[in-house]
Structure 1
Amino acid sequence: MGSRRNFIEKLTVSAVGLPILYHSSNLFAAAEAPYEGPILKVAIMGLGSYGTRVAEAMKDCKRAKLVGVISGTPSKIKDWQSKYGIPKKNCYNYENFDAIKDNPDIDAVYIITPNGLHKDQAIRVAKAGKHVISEKPMAINAEEGQAMVDACKAAKVKLLIGYRMHFEPKTVEVIKMRKNGEFGKVKFFQGQSGFTIGNPNQWRLDKKLAGGGAMMDIGIYSINGARYMLGEDPVWVTAQETKTDPVKFKEGVDETIQFQLGFPSGAVANCLSTYNMSHLDRFFMTGSDGWVEMKPSTGYGPIKGRTHKGELDQPHITHQTLQMDGMAQLIFDGVQPIVPVDGEEGLKDMKIIDAIYKAAKTGDKITIDL
């Protein structure tokens, strides 16, 4: 798995710049000494804009290191080799990446490709004996998500989902407050997730590649946020779809969906997912004894928030740095984040998305069984 001693250059990073990790016994603890434990050696599959963001964030990781790439674009592979010092033997394309099975330099593959490709790619990575990290949503429906979970279990590898917010300091603080009862009995959550999407020819507006529209991209933040903010899983959903541009948003590609979730405690959530309104990145939750508002709530940062007790002042650290170090800690040491990031967590969100689409199509109140 390697050692921090193999990456001496990392030791020059000042203590101020070191990532802060989540620990079960100490919520955010900065390392006081250079880390010398195992390093998670990661190959990124899909070298687009988000893949680049993850690669840049991993420069500051202590427990994870970018060591390989998988891409269908030879020029991108060449650029990444030069920029990140990736050896040729750790470079693959979409046809030959099964050969990672025989490459001990790669422990895990982070799949950052269009949603419709995740299932088959994840199964191939699992069969190659490598841990799978899949960007969210994990697939285009619950059936595909279940196939990914089953394949990783059969191969005895981890399946983790790119839920970066589960490691974000202000988000973790709010979850901790709710667990400690500081909001009293939580009653209501509101999630607003949306932006105005540009290029109509991009894969996010292709039903086959995306699996849908805004819900499969930005809407999942309000779904997952409702669950970790309230600390419950929903048992029913109602939903309404609005489409103003059927040319840009073709059949099966949602433009705007409003949805309502009901929870066992009686709490309700009212959420909005859209590709046709900007400046929508806000969570609000209220309980019998307090409230919290986060705006921006899920953007790349800094996250901002306030509660009935005042402003949240936890430090901003690049989310993907925290995520990758946290996932390495999970794989090597079994240390779980405050909210799970495993395949089962991702599968729950896929089941909810399936139910939202069904509710929007039928107009019915749909029961959710997770």
Structure 2
Amino acid sequence: MRNSRRNFLQQLAVSAAAMPFLTFEQQAYTPVPHNRQGRVLRVALMGLGGYATRVAEAMQSCKRAKITGLISGTPAKIKEWQAKYNIPEKNCYNYETFDQVKDNPDIDAVYVITPNGLHHDQVIRIARAGKHVICEKPMAINAREGQEMVDACREAGVKLLVGYRMHFEPNTLEVIRMRSAGEFGKIMFFQGLSGFKIGDPTQWRLDKTLAGGGAMMDIGIYSINGSRYMVGEDPIWVTAQETKTDEVKFKAGVDETIQFQLGFPGGAVASCLSTYNMNYLDRFFMTGEKGFVEMQPSTGYGPIKGRTHQGALAQPHVMHQTLQMDGMAEIILDDSQPVVPVDGLEGLKDLKIIDAIYAACATGQRQKLSL
């Protein structure tokens, strides 16, 4: 498996040099030796909640990235994290003062891990401070905001990356290699099931202002993004239907369950489910004329498991965020290109699809996509 993937990556790198424009399926990866020139990406984490805790723990195993700064609105958290990760006081900020990172040479990039509705303004402020940005997904609450973030980072000359950890996960990359090599044949169908039964009704994920929606903005985006990297194309239309059984918990603008369908230019179709009202939904299935792949769990934090018509997926498991942050360090420091993009334009495509899904739910009409 490892040799075949290495050959695949090398072949893509050669083809990239010969072609100025690449399709989604032809995205190239340029392997970069770990710690080339001894450079390490120095990262400030913004928003010290549950997911930031996972990222911080994973980064302790990184070769190319380390935590050098903290941004939080809770002084007690900053003190706790300072002690745990040996962060000096001069590298700690709150939400009013973090623009001052522009004067801090100890910080190369800021990883925004705050509620979705805060990403837009925070990312633009970081860009204006001259620092690279890693933003947790979804990148924003709609495509308009996402475009403004992309524009701001471009104007500031900094990179904008989105926390698509699955784009670095070994079993996922093996499936992409197989599909690109034609081992599934012509892709016909993809199914993505993403959901769980959400708990605390007062949490920010059920607040439209902070979340931008409901399950679609949290868990449904995995099936959206997964359909694209699994099929290897961007969809050209979407239809969608919303179901809501609890209008107290899931208020107006906060979706509980949405089924959506995507059409791809090569003829493949996708049928997906996003929900906050059902457990045990973390499954991808894709079939082509020559074979199939089934992944369950497909996007969870634990080991990704699955099988294809050729047998079990058996790539080694490493914490996803470790691979993500090392990979993103190579993108920022060495200008390498991953197999599947993780930049702001990639995040913007998913936001355009989400906007179209909500429009399809509201109108009952198929929405055309131009990504």
Query: TM-score scaled by structure 2?
Result: 0.92
> Alpha carbons of 1:178 and 1:23: their partners in 2 closer, same or farther (altered >3 Å)?
closer
State the alpha-carbon separation in 1 of the partners of residues 31 and 311 from structure 2: 23
**Is the CA contact (8 Å cut-off) linking 1:35 and 1:62 kept in structure 2?**
no
Question: Which residue of structure 1 aligns with residue 306 of structure 2?
Answer: 305
Instruction: Describe the superposition over 1:254-278 as per-residue Cα deviations: whole angstroms up to 9, x where unpaired.
Output: 0000000001011000000000000
Say if 1:24 and 1:335, in contact at 8 Å, map to a contact too. no
Q: Is 2:322 the partner of 1:337?
A: no
Deviations 1:169-206 (A, max 9, x none): 00000000000000000000000000000000000000
Residue 262 of structure 1 aligns with an amino acid whose one-letter code is G
| Distance in 2 separating the partners of 1:89 and 1:319 | 30
Partners of 1:239 and 1:359 within 8 A in 2: yes
Structure-to-structure mapping, 1:173-212, within 5 angstroms: 173-212=174-213
What are structure 2's unaligned runs of at least 5 residues?
Answer: 1-5, 12-28
* Residue 70 (structure 1) aligned with residue 71 (structure 2): yes
Change (3 A) 1:228 1:132: same
Amino acid corresponding to residue 106 of structure 1 in structure 2: I
**Preserved CA contact (<8 Å) 1:212 1:252:** yes
CA contact (8 A) 1:22 1:29 kept: no
> 2:285 — aligned with what?
284
Tell whether the 8 Å contact from 1:212 to 1:253 is kept in structure 2 after alignment: yes
What SS class does the counterpart of residue 209 from structure 1 fall into? helix
* Unmatched runs of 5 consecutive residues or more in structure 1: 1-20
Give the match for residue 272 of structure 1: 273
The 1-side partners of 2:311 and 2:30 are apart by: 20
Distance 1:71 1:337 in 2: 30
Partner of 1:25: 10
Q: Match of 1:90, as an amino acid?
A: N
Contact 2:141 2:351 in 1 (8 A): yes
The match for 2:54 is: 53
How far off its partner does 1:34 sit?
7.5
Q: Distance in 1 between matches of 2:126 and 2:334?
A: 22
1:25 to partner: Cα distance: 3.1
Partner SS state of residue 279, structure 2? strand
Aligned to 1:12: none
Measured against aligned partners, the alpha-carbon deviations of 1:205-257 in whole angstroms (never above 9, x if no partner) come to 00000000000000000000000000000000000000000000000000000
Which position in structure 2 is the counterpart of 1:369? 370
Structure 1 residue 334: deviation in Å? 1.6
Contact 2:195 2:215 in 1 (8 A): yes
Q: Aligned partners of 1:257, 1:214: CA distance in 2, in Å?
A: 8
Residue 5 (structure 1) aligns with:
none
CA contact (8 A) 1:69 1:91 kept: yes
Per-residue CA deviations over 1:88-136 (Å, capped at 9, x if unaligned) read 0000000000000000000000000000000000000000000000000
Within 1, Cα distance between the matches of 2:36 and 2:63? 7
Residue matched to 1:226:
227
Alignment identity in percent?
73
Kept in 2: contact 1:63–1:325 (CA 8 A): yes
SS of alignment partner, residue 280 of structure 2: strand
SS of residue matched to 2:43: strand
RMSD: 1.8
Question: Residue 316 of structure 1 aligns with which residue?
Answer: 317
In 1, the alpha carbon distance for the partners of 2:44 and 2:7 equals 23
What secondary structure, in the 3-state scheme, does the structure 1 residue paired with 2:176 have?
A: helix
**Offset, 1:23:** 10
* Matching residue of 1:8: none
How far apart in 1 are the matches of 2:8 and 2:114? 30
Query: Separation in 2 of the partners of 1:256 and 1:140?
Result: 18
Provide the C-alpha distance between the structure 2 equivalents of 1:245 and 1:291, rounded to a whole number of angstroms: 37
CA contact (8 A) 1:22 1:337 kept: no
Q: Structure 2 counterpart of 1:119, which letter?
A: H
* TM-score (normalizing by structure 1): 0.92
Is this contact kept in 2: 1:132–1:158, CA < 8 A? yes
- Separation in 1 of the partners of 2:316 and 2:69? 30
Give the drift of 1:37.
Answer: 2.0
Per-residue CA deviation, residues 52-88 of structure 1 (Å, 9 max, x unaligned), is: 1000000000000001000000000000000011110
Distance 2:338 2:31 in 1: 13
- Tell me which amino acid in the other structure corresponds to 1:42: V
1:106 aligned to 2:107?
Answer: yes
Aligned to 1:18: none
Q: Given that residues 126 and 133 in structure 2 are in contact (C-alpha distance below 8 angstroms), is that contact kept between their aligned partners in structure 1?
A: yes
Whole-angstrom distance in 2 between the partners of 1:128 and 1:199: 36
AA at the equivalent of 1:195: F
Give the CA deviation at 1:333.
1.4
CA distance, structure 2, for counterparts of residue 22 and residue 278 of structure 1 = 39
> Residue type of the partner of 1:294?
M
